[in-house]
Amino acid sequence: MVSRALQAPFRKLLWIMVVAVTSIIIFYFFYSPLHAKEHKACLAPVDLIRFKALTPTLERVFKSGDRVRIAALGSSSTQGAGASSKELRYPAQLQAELQRRFPDSDIEVANLGIGGELASDMLKRVDGQVLPLKPALVIWQTGVNDAIRGVDLEEFRSTLQKGIRLFKEQGIDVVLLDHQYYPGAAKLAGFDDYLQALHDMAREENIPLLSRYRIMEHLVTTGQFAISDLLARDRFHLNDVSYGCLGTAMADALENSVRHRPVQSAAPVPVTLVKGSN
């Protein structure tokens, strides 16, 4: 039996522990950015989350019942800089969302993102890291690092074309994913040129592109989010909320492509991309 001399310190220690645990719970539920966005949806016009080209290989694999492998090739936005956990990086959120939409399929989204890489760096990794996976689809996120480091625009275009045609030769679908929307973009010389190069290449090669830039811009300009809600503390990389929006937007576009739902050509209609941040 505990003596009275020990009871007081024990009660004090217990009280400190209770207060500490309670404080953590209160901080998590009332001050966590994720909790603040838990019930807020990302809304965007339908035309921003519909592809203008098909993904025939991906569609065929889904229908075959085989394992659906998708390779997410990119830089820090794909690797997950700014995310609070591996599960909240965009490729992981995309995999979870696709699995929810296609419960009878076995889906794997491989994260092949390496921070700071140029398009040319990623192209060098294709033979050793991408092709061995035998993916049905490659989502190629690139461009912003090339713009920041001033890579020759024609060299960038040439790299894109080589990569896209290499994937096509292997029977792999390609979706391009363009730059993020962030405050520093307006001050970066040539930013718009690299952005346009991605869109031009998608049109010339007849492949899909998801415009992360336009989606994020829409979320901010319509007042749904402040830019600080969608970016990490460095005001450059994405965060859990915007990775959630991106993963679900990509899943929506891919599902539409696989199921051949009609592309909306009329006035844009807001649709829910993501219910919360996880």
Reduced to 3 states (helix: H, G, I; strand: E, B; else coil), residue 177 is strand
Range of the domain at 11: 1-31
Residue-level pLDDT at 266: 35
Same-domain pairing of 16 and 149 = no
Same-domain pairing of 47 and 10 = no
DSSP 263: P
Cα–Cα distance measured from residue 58 to residue 173, given in angstroms and rounded to the nearest whole number: 7
**pLDDT tens series, the chain, 278 aa:** 445 554 555 555 555 454 444 443 333 333 233 333 444 688 989 999 999 999 999 999 999 999 999 999 999 999 999 999 999 999 999 999 999 999 999 999 999 999 999 999 999 999 999 999 999 999 999 999 999 999 999 999 999 999 999 999 999 999 999 999 999 988 898 899 999 999 999 999 999 999 999 999 999 999 999 999 999 999 999 999 999 999 999 999 999 999 986 444 333 334 444 433 33
Residue 27 lies in a domain: yes
With b meaning 16 or more CB within 10 Å and e meaning fewer, what string describes 93-113? bbbbbbbebbeebebebbbbb
Same-domain pairing of 259 and 142 = yes
Residue-level pLDDT at 40: 67
Cα–Cα distance measured from residue 116 to residue 226, given in angstroms and rounded to the nearest whole number: 26
Strands of the 209-210 sheet, one edge to the other: 107-113, 68-74, 137-141, 173-177, 209-210
* Residue of 45, 61, 86 lying closest to 252 (CA atoms): 45
CATH number of domain containing 221? 3.40.50.1110
Same-domain pairing of 26 and 47 = no
Cα–Cα distance measured from residue 202 to residue 160, given in angstroms and rounded to the nearest whole number: 10
Same-domain pairing of 94 and 143 = yes
Same-domain pairing of 150 and 20 = no
Structure tokens at 214: 């336009």
Residue 36 lies in a domain: no
Residue-level pLDDT at 198: 97
String of DSSP letters for 61-105: HHHHTS-EEEEEEESHHHHTTT-SSGGGSHHHHHHHHHHHH-TTS
Residue 200 lies in a domain: yes
Same-domain pairing of 150 and 244 = yes
Residue-level pLDDT at 41: 81
Residue 57 lies in a domain: yes
What angle (nearest 5°) sits at the alpha carbon of residue 272, between those of residues 271 and 277?
A: 155
Same-domain pairing of 162 and 205 = yes
Same-domain pairing of 46 and 176 = yes
Residue-level pLDDT at 186: 85
Same-domain pairing of 66 and 193 = yes
Angle between helices 240-259 and 56-64 (to 10 degrees): 80
Reduced to 3 states (helix: H, G, I; strand: E, B; else coil), residue 207 is coil
Residue-level pLDDT at 123: 98
Residue-level pLDDT at 277: 36
Same-domain pairing of 147 and 15 = no
Counted domains in the chain: 2
